Amino acid sequence: MSPEIARIFMLIKSYFSRILMAMLFLFCQLNQAQQIYLDSLITSLTKIENDRKFDQSNVDYINLLNEIASNYQYKNIDSLKIYAEKAFSLSNKYQYLDGQGNALINLGKYEFYKGNKNSINVLNSALEIAKSSNNSLLQLEVQKILGNQELDFGNHAKALKAYLNAIDLANSNNDFQNLSVIKENVAILYLTEKDYAQSLQLYKEVEKLNDKIGNPLRTAQTKSNIAEVYTKLNDLKNATEYIDNAMMVFKAHESYEWLAFSYHVKGDIYLKQNNPKLALYWYDKAMALHENLSDDRYKVPLLNSISTAYFDLNNLADSEKYASLALDIASRLSLLEDPIKSFELLYKINRENKNLDDALKYHEKFKLLSDSISRKENLNSLGVLKTKLEFEKQQKNAEIERNKQKTKQNIFMYLGLILLVICALIIFLLKKQSKARKLFNNELRLKTATLEKREEELSAINATKDKLFSIIGHDLKGPINALGSVLTMFNDNEITCEEFSTFAPKFKTDVDAISFTLNNLLSWGRTQMTGSKKEPTSFDMRMLAEENIRFLHEISINKSITITNNVLTDTNVWADRNQIDVVIRNLLSNALKFTNKKGVIAINAIEKNNIVKISVTDNGIGMSPEVISKIFNSEETNLISTYGTDNEKGTGLGLSLCKEMVENNGGEIWVESKIDKGSTFYFTLPKKVSNV
């Protein structure tokens, strides 16, 4: 290893060490909170015992003894035994059955954590007491714990039977909290059977129950177990999501045993991802928690996981150390399945170390125990199936009996239903009649609305007609009549040829104006009557601008206005050339109209992101914000004629037409203007992109 790599490794090691120290400090703080609660219980017990009126037969005193014993479960099982035995002795002396049952539950836990199968006998005694006292909640608790212990001892059929009985009791008491826990334990049973699909299905049912309960800690416990299933299924994405959510809740609720489990699962995920270093980081955090919990039984699989991670890192010494430690604890607690993994690891380690005799010894033990467990698993699977079928048969018989009772009730219910149907029929007929009236009224309203809409459309058509005649009457009739009068006078020899020629410039101006107005009227009329149809092509905007400058050259010369075409050559756009020709001509004409003599007009174009932005700028009289808000709307302007700086007339139609044609070609149009400063009209058009 190079010095640089070694230095980086030391930095990473130092970083993780600091994180681990921080987590240990946090755990100490959290553990202190649990210790405070236990200390408060012991303080209460001491206070009761020191009271002059202290009575050992008081059930509150016995219940407190059992509560203290239960809280020693993960702290000091020897203390658990002391308080539980005292509670049992007093309960037995004063015939307090519930106290006896709870004390036996605690003693059963003690035997279990010591690895003694006698715990099952102790719990069965507790179950008999619970039945004799007719305490269904106590029965439920015993059956639940009995199922857990039978599962740990490898008796899956007996475990399932206990769980199914507990589920019945939980349903009878509407105890969704315990129903969630027990169903989750059944899911764990199927996980042990390696029936991951059935296990996951049950976990999903538990998730729904947890939603009803609204207990975040229960929800987190389920999520952590689901994460374990997803890890087994190699669905590491879902596994990570579930375990990360669960860990946050366990930290907040100071649930150390579950937090240790979640750290273990997190490590397993990284181990599956072939990242043994990060796996060890989480395993070490789990082990730090286990050191303060009296649960050596659940420490064994963690030790095997740590050994596996070290083996993957080729650290055979530490791998052997943790595998041996796991094997020692498993042997002390008489565990059945965990030693298989330990034997397998020790076989691999000794094989790598070339210790062939030891490797062969561990391999033989591994095979012998694996075959034994395999046979037991097969028997367990059959037992589980048999137990499930028997339970379903009992449930079916109970369902048949309930159905008989329901049949009697149904006879009366059907009579009531017949009366309800008759009443409903009467109500239906009345409602049907009312509905028919409403339907008729709705149809009438719809027809009225249709007539009103057609009336509005007719009014709009009439308004369009009036606008056309107004333009023809005001803006076309005057110049044509004037031309006609002069021609009549010339024809009647009332004026000479020389006098007639003096009117020629005026005639030219009027005819150009009439032509321009007629062109706009025709374009506008088409858009109003049939809608705009376009035939897009690619064309050069500079050339089009130049054509319109030449077309309006005479007007610009008469007003001494300079028009500059700044559009670059080959500035191509994709649009209907005729329509954009109308747009440019109207914008230039508008600029000429409202620009004073010796003014300046500029046409510019900028290309950006396949869009060409064209602008027509003048230094004319400008517009107010109120005028700007109306100029593109023919309804707002009402097509009223306006006059330019040289009394040029217009229809008010051009800018509205520009807006329609620009938008018809996929562009936008807007204006920026200030009074006495001038105006700039902008519009955009798409740029034709060449195909490669």
Q: How confident is the model at residue 671 (pLDDT cuts 50, 70, 90)?
A: very high
Using only C-alpha atoms, what is the Rg of the chain? 47
Q: Mean of the pLDDT values across residues 47-61?
A: 88
pLDDT > 70: what percent of the chain? 78
pLDDT above 70 (res 402): no
For 178-192, 280-294, 584-598, 625-639, which range has the lowest pLDDT when averaged over its residues?
625-639
What does the alpha-carbon distance between residue 603 and residue 605 come to, in Å, rounded to a whole number?
7
What does the alpha-carbon distance between residue 506 and residue 274 come to, in Å, rounded to a whole number?
94
Q: Is 668 within the bounds of a domain? A: yes
Q: What is the pLDDT of residue 414?
A: 81
Domain containing 590: what range?
532-686
Q: Which H or E run contains 343?
A: helix 338-352
pLDDT in tens, 404-462: 777 777 777 887 788 888 888 888 888 888 888 888 788 888 888 888 887 876 775 66
pLDDT in tens, 170-205: 998 888 888 988 998 888 888 888 888 888 998 999
Query: Structure tokens of 562?
Result: 């300079």
DSSP track, 598-641: T-EEEEEEEEETTEEEEEEEE-SS---HHHHTTTT-HHHHTT--
Q: Is 654 within the bounds of a domain? A: yes
Q: Is 608 within the bounds of a domain? A: yes
pLDDT above 70 (res 586): yes
Q: Is 308 within the bounds of a domain? A: no
- Note the Cα 500 to chain centre separation in Å: 84
pLDDT above 90 (res 565): yes
Q: What is the pLDDT of residue 22?
A: 40
Q: What is the pLDDT of residue 374?
A: 56
Q: How confident is the model at residue 8 (pLDDT cuts 50, 70, 90)?
A: very low
Residue bearing the bigger pLDDT, 2 or 682: 682
Number of domains in the chain: 1
Task: 313-318: list long-range contacts, CB under 8 Å, 24+ apart.
Answer: 313/276, 313/277, 313/280, 316/349, 316/352, 316/353
CATH number at residue 556: 3.30.565.10
Query: Structure tokens of 439?
Result: 């339907």
Q: Is 162 within the bounds of a domain? A: no
Q: What is the pLDDT of residue 628?
A: 87
| C-alpha dihedral sign at 46, 48, 52, 55 | negative
- Note the Cα 196 to chain centre separation in Å: 27
Contacts of 308 (CB under 8 A, 6+ apart): 271, 276, 319, 341, 345
Q: What is the pLDDT of residue 9?
A: 40
Q: Is 90 within the bounds of a domain? A: no
Residue bearing the bigger pLDDT, 534 or 569: 569
3-state secondary structure of 667: coil
Q: What is the pLDDT of residue 157?
A: 84
Report the chain's mean pLDDT, rounded to a whole number: 82
Q: Is 24 within the bounds of a domain? A: no
Q: How confident is the model at residue 286 (pLDDT cuts 50, 70, 90)?
A: very high
Q: Mean of the pLDDT values across residues 619-643?
A: 73
Q: How confident is the model at residue 74 (pLDDT cuts 50, 70, 90)?
A: confident
pLDDT above 80 (res 212): yes
Q: What is the pLDDT of residue 413?
A: 80
Residue bearing the bigger pLDDT, 543 or 510: 543
pLDDT above 90 (res 30): no
Q: Is 612 within the bounds of a domain? A: yes
pLDDT above 60 (res 468): no
pLDDT in tens, 310-364: 999 999 999 999 999 999 988 888 777 778 888 889 999 999 999 988 888 988 8
